[in-house]
Amino acid sequence: MKKVEMVKPEAIIDVKIGSQFLQDLQAVVLYLTSLEPADKLQQVVNKANNNEEMDAWEKAMYTMLVLITTTEENARAGGFTTIEEIPEEEISPESPE
């Protein structure tokens, strides 16, 4: 048997994430989304809300969504966001206005 350093189960770890890394995370979500049918993303949300078991893709997507959402909420709370005008054609149907 080999000894391996592990993070304690009760640990809560603060991580600082830059805006470029956040954009990279968002790109991963876009890629993951392209691998499955469009309605699969809503299934992830539904399963998370209902504490239902998820397959590997769903777990990966859920993990990314929680990470991105938490990062965006912390950025907003820390005053690190701005409101900018962007062309309407760059806004996807799922994006808030």
Above 60 in pLDDT, residue 96?
Answer: no
Query: CA 10, CA 8: separation in Å to the nearest integer?
Result: 5
Q: What is the pLDDT of residues 32-89, one digit of tens each?
A: 999 999 899 999 999 999 999 999 999 999 999 999 999 999 999 999 999 988 888 7
**Domains of the chain, residue spans:** 43-75
Confidence at residue 94, expressed as pLDDT on a 0 to 100 scale: 52
Mean pLDDT over all residues of the chain? 90
Confidence at residue 88, expressed as pLDDT on a 0 to 100 scale: 82
Cβ atoms 28, 71 nearer than 8 A: no
Six token digits for residue 96? 């808030």
CA distances (Å), origin 1, targets 4, 7, 8, 73 = 10, 18, 19, 42
Give percent of the chain above pLDDT 90.
81
What is the pLDDT averaged over residues 5-15?
Answer: 94
